[in-house]
Protein backbone atom coordinates (compact mmCIF):
# COMPACT_ATOMS: atom_id res chain seq x y z
CA UNK A 1 0.00 0.00 0.00
CA UNK A 2 1.37 3.41 -0.95
CA UNK A 3 1.70 6.62 0.98
CA UNK A 4 0.99 10.09 -0.41
CA UNK A 5 2.62 13.29 0.85
CA UNK A 6 0.48 16.40 0.47
CA UNK A 7 1.18 20.03 1.38
CA UNK A 8 -1.62 22.41 2.38
CA UNK A 9 -0.81 26.08 1.63
CA UNK A 10 -3.07 28.39 3.66
CA UNK A 11 -2.16 31.88 2.41
CA UNK A 12 -3.16 35.50 2.95
CA UNK A 13 -3.86 36.41 -0.68
CA UNK A 14 -3.21 39.80 -2.21
CA UNK A 15 -6.47 41.18 -3.60
CA UNK A 16 -6.67 41.00 -7.40
CA UNK A 17 -2.87 41.03 -7.71
CA UNK A 18 -1.68 37.93 -9.58
CA UNK A 19 2.01 38.86 -9.73
CA UNK A 20 2.19 39.46 -5.97
CA UNK A 21 0.36 36.23 -5.22
CA UNK A 22 2.48 34.10 -7.53
CA UNK A 23 5.66 35.53 -6.04
CA UNK A 24 4.43 34.90 -2.49
CA UNK A 25 3.19 31.38 -3.27
CA UNK A 26 6.46 30.50 -4.98
CA UNK A 27 8.24 31.16 -1.69
CA UNK A 28 5.64 29.10 0.17
CA UNK A 29 6.18 26.18 -2.21
CA UNK A 30 9.95 26.40 -1.76
CA UNK A 31 9.47 26.20 2.02
CA UNK A 32 7.34 23.05 1.83
CA UNK A 33 10.25 20.64 1.71
CA UNK A 34 9.86 17.19 0.20
CA UNK A 35 6.30 16.65 -0.96
CA UNK A 36 4.31 15.17 -3.83
CA UNK A 37 1.18 17.35 -4.06
CA UNK A 38 0.80 21.07 -3.30
CA UNK A 39 -2.75 22.33 -2.65
CA UNK A 40 -3.40 26.06 -3.06
CA UNK A 41 -6.63 27.94 -2.23
CA UNK A 42 -9.50 28.84 -4.56
CA UNK A 43 -8.65 31.66 -7.02
CA UNK A 44 -5.15 31.67 -5.56
CA UNK A 45 -3.82 34.33 -7.96
CA UNK A 46 -6.56 36.92 -7.32
CA UNK A 47 -8.78 36.11 -4.36
CA UNK A 48 -12.49 35.41 -4.85
CA UNK A 49 -13.17 38.20 -7.33
CA UNK A 50 -16.28 38.90 -9.41
CA UNK A 51 -14.24 40.75 -12.05
CA UNK A 52 -13.38 38.03 -14.56
CA UNK A 53 -13.67 40.54 -17.41
CA UNK A 54 -10.45 42.18 -16.23
CA UNK A 55 -8.72 39.33 -14.37
CA UNK A 56 -9.38 36.20 -16.45
CA UNK A 57 -6.52 34.46 -18.19
CA UNK A 58 -6.45 31.77 -20.84
CA UNK A 59 -5.00 28.30 -20.36
CA UNK A 60 -1.88 29.67 -22.10
CA UNK A 61 -1.68 32.62 -19.70
CA UNK A 62 0.92 33.48 -17.05
CA UNK A 63 -0.71 31.73 -14.07
CA UNK A 64 -1.06 28.35 -15.78
CA UNK A 65 2.46 28.78 -17.15
CA UNK A 66 3.66 29.50 -13.58
CA UNK A 67 1.97 26.29 -12.39
CA UNK A 68 3.81 24.35 -15.11
CA UNK A 69 7.13 25.88 -14.14
CA UNK A 70 6.61 25.20 -10.44
CA UNK A 71 5.47 21.63 -11.01
CA UNK A 72 8.33 20.88 -13.39
CA UNK A 73 11.12 22.51 -11.39
CA UNK A 74 10.05 21.00 -8.05
CA UNK A 75 8.86 17.69 -9.54
CA UNK A 76 5.50 17.94 -7.80
CA UNK A 77 1.80 18.13 -8.60
CA UNK A 78 0.18 21.52 -7.98
CA UNK A 79 -3.55 22.17 -7.71
CA UNK A 80 -5.74 25.20 -7.01
CA UNK A 81 -8.33 27.23 -8.90
CA UNK A 82 -7.83 30.16 -11.28
CA UNK A 83 -10.10 32.59 -13.18
CA UNK A 84 -10.05 31.27 -16.76
CA UNK A 85 -11.57 32.52 -20.01
CA UNK A 86 -12.46 29.68 -22.39
CA UNK A 87 -14.73 29.83 -25.47
CA UNK A 88 -15.96 33.31 -24.54
CA UNK A 89 -17.01 32.13 -21.07
CA UNK A 90 -15.43 32.59 -17.65
CA UNK A 91 -14.80 29.68 -15.30
CA UNK A 92 -13.64 29.21 -11.71
CA UNK A 93 -11.33 26.43 -12.86
CA UNK A 94 -9.37 24.04 -10.64
CA UNK A 95 -6.22 22.86 -12.41
CA UNK A 96 -4.37 19.64 -11.58
CA UNK A 97 -0.87 20.29 -12.94
CA UNK A 98 1.55 17.37 -13.31
CA UNK A 99 5.37 17.59 -13.24
CA UNK A 100 5.54 16.83 -16.97
CA UNK A 101 3.39 19.85 -17.84
CA UNK A 102 0.25 17.87 -18.59
CA UNK A 103 -2.88 18.78 -16.66
CA UNK A 104 -6.50 18.02 -15.95
CA UNK A 105 -9.09 20.56 -14.88
CA UNK A 106 -12.43 20.87 -13.12
CA UNK A 107 -14.82 23.78 -13.56
CA UNK A 108 -16.67 24.61 -10.34
CA UNK A 109 -20.13 23.07 -10.54
CA UNK A 110 -21.93 24.98 -7.78
CA UNK A 111 -21.60 28.73 -8.24
CA UNK A 112 -22.08 30.89 -5.15
CA UNK A 113 -25.17 32.91 -6.14
CA UNK A 114 -25.21 34.67 -2.74
CA UNK A 115 -22.11 36.59 -3.93
CA UNK A 116 -23.20 36.78 -7.58
CA UNK A 117 -20.75 34.18 -8.84
CA UNK A 118 -23.44 32.74 -11.12
CA UNK A 119 -23.76 36.13 -12.84
CA UNK A 120 -20.10 36.17 -13.87
CA UNK A 121 -19.04 32.55 -14.33
CA UNK A 122 -20.25 29.47 -16.18
CA UNK A 123 -20.90 26.26 -14.26
CA UNK A 124 -19.00 23.04 -14.87
CA UNK A 125 -20.75 19.77 -15.67
CA UNK A 126 -18.27 17.01 -14.98
CA UNK A 127 -16.19 15.86 -12.02
CA UNK A 128 -12.45 15.28 -12.11
CA UNK A 129 -11.00 12.29 -10.27
CA UNK A 130 -7.24 12.28 -10.66
CA UNK A 131 -4.89 9.36 -10.01
CA UNK A 132 -1.42 9.31 -8.49
CA UNK A 133 0.54 6.44 -6.91
CA UNK A 134 -2.56 4.25 -6.73
CA UNK A 135 -4.61 6.99 -5.04
CA UNK A 136 -7.79 8.31 -6.64
CA UNK A 137 -8.44 11.95 -5.78
CA UNK A 138 -11.75 13.80 -6.20
CA UNK A 139 -11.12 17.52 -6.75
CA UNK A 140 -13.76 20.14 -5.91
CA UNK A 141 -14.10 23.87 -5.16
CA UNK A 142 -15.44 25.70 -2.09
CA UNK A 143 -19.27 25.95 -2.37
CA UNK A 144 -19.37 22.41 -3.82
CA UNK A 145 -18.85 21.32 -0.20
CA UNK A 146 -22.50 22.11 0.61
CA UNK A 147 -23.81 19.61 -1.96
CA UNK A 148 -23.11 16.05 -0.78
CA UNK A 149 -24.53 14.32 -3.86
CA UNK A 150 -21.83 15.88 -6.04
CA UNK A 151 -19.12 14.35 -3.83
CA UNK A 152 -20.84 11.04 -3.09
CA UNK A 153 -18.93 7.84 -3.80
CA UNK A 154 -20.62 6.29 -6.82
CA UNK A 155 -20.59 2.49 -7.25
CA UNK A 156 -17.98 1.10 -9.64
CA UNK A 157 -18.11 -2.14 -11.62
CA UNK A 158 -16.49 -4.16 -8.85
CA UNK A 159 -18.25 -2.14 -6.12
CA UNK A 160 -14.93 -0.60 -5.03
CA UNK A 161 -14.82 2.96 -3.70
CA UNK A 162 -14.65 5.53 -6.47
CA UNK A 163 -11.93 7.59 -4.80
CA UNK A 164 -9.68 7.73 -1.71
CA UNK A 165 -9.08 11.43 -1.09
CA UNK A 166 -11.46 14.38 -1.49
CA UNK A 167 -9.90 17.86 -1.83
CA UNK A 168 -11.68 21.21 -1.54
CA UNK A 169 -9.92 24.48 -2.38
CA UNK A 170 -11.72 27.50 -0.98
CA UNK A 171 -12.18 31.17 -0.08
CA UNK A 172 -14.65 30.37 2.73
CA UNK A 173 -15.55 33.31 5.04
CA UNK A 174 -14.88 33.15 8.77
CA UNK A 175 -18.52 34.02 9.54
CA UNK A 176 -19.55 30.57 8.22
CA UNK A 177 -16.53 28.57 9.38
CA UNK A 178 -18.67 26.28 11.56
CA UNK A 179 -20.35 24.95 8.41
CA UNK A 180 -16.95 24.61 6.69
CA UNK A 181 -15.48 22.51 9.49
CA UNK A 182 -18.60 20.41 10.05
CA UNK A 183 -19.14 19.61 6.37
CA UNK A 184 -15.51 18.62 5.78
CA UNK A 185 -15.87 16.04 8.55
CA UNK A 186 -19.24 14.90 7.21
CA UNK A 187 -17.85 14.35 3.69
CA UNK A 188 -15.05 12.20 5.15
CA UNK A 189 -17.40 10.06 7.25
CA UNK A 190 -20.06 9.46 4.61
CA UNK A 191 -17.56 8.71 1.83
CA UNK A 192 -15.01 6.79 3.95
CA UNK A 193 -12.12 8.79 2.57
CA UNK A 194 -9.53 11.32 3.62
CA UNK A 195 -10.66 14.92 3.14
CA UNK A 196 -8.44 17.97 2.73
CA UNK A 197 -9.85 21.51 2.76
CA UNK A 198 -7.48 24.38 1.94
CA UNK A 199 -8.81 27.86 2.66
CA UNK A 200 -7.27 31.34 2.64
CA UNK A 201 -6.78 33.71 5.57
CA UNK A 202 -7.09 37.48 5.92
CA UNK A 203 -9.46 40.12 4.55
CA UNK A 204 -10.35 40.28 0.88
CA UNK A 205 -11.08 43.42 -1.14
CA UNK A 206 -14.71 43.36 -0.04
CA UNK A 207 -13.78 43.45 3.65
CA UNK A 208 -14.73 39.79 4.16
CA UNK A 209 -12.56 38.05 6.74
CA UNK A 210 -11.27 34.51 6.28
CA UNK A 211 -10.01 32.51 9.25
CA UNK A 212 -8.54 29.68 7.19
CA UNK A 213 -9.35 26.61 9.25
CA UNK A 214 -7.70 24.48 6.58
CA UNK A 215 -8.11 20.90 7.61
CA UNK A 216 -7.12 17.28 7.11
CA UNK A 217 -9.77 14.77 8.18
CA UNK A 218 -9.39 10.99 8.30
CA UNK A 219 -12.06 8.51 7.06
CA UNK A 220 -13.57 8.29 10.55
CA UNK A 221 -14.08 12.06 10.69
CA UNK A 222 -11.19 12.69 13.08
CA UNK A 223 -9.36 15.97 12.49
CA UNK A 224 -5.66 15.21 11.99
CA UNK A 225 -4.67 18.81 11.31
CA UNK A 226 -6.27 22.24 11.33
CA UNK A 227 -5.00 25.81 11.58
CA UNK A 228 -6.89 29.06 12.07
CA UNK A 229 -6.09 32.74 11.61
CA UNK A 230 -2.58 32.59 10.20
CA UNK A 231 -0.79 31.59 7.04
CA UNK A 232 0.69 28.12 7.21
CA UNK A 233 2.41 25.55 5.01
CA UNK A 234 1.67 22.08 6.37
CA UNK A 235 2.98 18.84 4.89
CA UNK A 236 1.31 15.56 5.81
CA UNK A 237 1.74 11.96 4.70
CA UNK A 238 -1.35 9.82 4.17
CA UNK A 239 -1.16 6.03 4.40
CA UNK A 240 -3.29 3.98 2.03
CA UNK A 241 -3.07 0.99 4.36
CA UNK A 242 -4.86 2.89 7.16
CA UNK A 243 -7.67 3.79 4.76
CA UNK A 244 -8.01 0.19 3.56
CA UNK A 245 -8.13 -1.12 7.12
CA UNK A 246 -11.02 1.20 8.01
CA UNK A 247 -12.96 0.24 4.89
CA UNK A 248 -12.40 -3.45 5.52
CA UNK A 249 -13.36 -3.29 9.19
CA UNK A 250 -16.39 -1.06 8.56
CA UNK A 251 -17.65 -1.83 5.03
CA UNK A 252 -20.40 0.80 5.05
CA UNK A 253 -19.94 1.76 1.40
CA UNK A 254 -21.27 -1.62 0.33
CA UNK A 255 -24.72 -0.50 1.52
CA UNK A 256 -24.78 2.80 -0.36
CA UNK A 257 -27.60 3.63 -2.78
CA UNK A 258 -26.90 3.32 -6.50
CA UNK A 259 -27.53 6.51 -8.47
CA UNK A 260 -26.28 8.57 -11.38
CA UNK A 261 -25.72 12.30 -11.85
CA UNK A 262 -26.85 14.00 -15.05
Q: Are 35 and 6 in contact (CB under 8 A)?
A: yes
Coil vs helix vs strand at 231: coil
What is the model's pLDDT at position 240? 96
Coil vs helix vs strand at 101: coil
Strands (E), 99-220: 103-107, 128-132, 135-141, 165-169, 194-198, 201-203, 209-217
Least confident of 12-21, 72-81, 154-163, 237-246: 154-163
Catalytic residue among 16, 36, 68, 142: 142
Please list the helix, strand and coil fractions of the chain in percent, rounded to the nearest 5, in that order.
30, 30, 40
Least confident of 97-106, 130-139, 153-162, 248-257: 153-162
Question: Is 51 an active-site residue?
Answer: no
Question: Is 142 an active-site residue?
Answer: yes
**∠ CA 252-186-214 to the nearest 5 degrees?**
135
Reported as a pLDDT band with limits 50, 70 and 90, residue 258 is confident
pTM greater than 0.75 (yes/no): yes
Catalytic residue among 16, 57, 68, 108: 108
Catalytic residue among 16, 36, 42, 174: 42
What is the model's pLDDT at position 1? 57
What is the model's pLDDT at position 221? 98
Question: Is 222 an active-site residue?
Answer: no
Strands (E), 32-117: 37-39, 77-86, 89-97, 103-107
**Residues of the chain with pLDDT > 70: what percent?**
100
Is the pLDDT score of 133 beyond 70? yes
Domains and their CATH numbers in the chain:
3-255 (3.60.110.10)
Is the pLDDT score of 237 beyond 80? yes
Amino acid sequence: MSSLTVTLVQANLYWENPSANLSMLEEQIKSAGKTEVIVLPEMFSTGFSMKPETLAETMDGPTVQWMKEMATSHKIIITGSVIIRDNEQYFNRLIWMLPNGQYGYYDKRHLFAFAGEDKHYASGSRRLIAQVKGWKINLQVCYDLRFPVWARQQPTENNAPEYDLLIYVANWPERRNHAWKTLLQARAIENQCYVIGVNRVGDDGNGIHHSGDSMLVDPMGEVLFTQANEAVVKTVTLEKSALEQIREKLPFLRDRDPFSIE
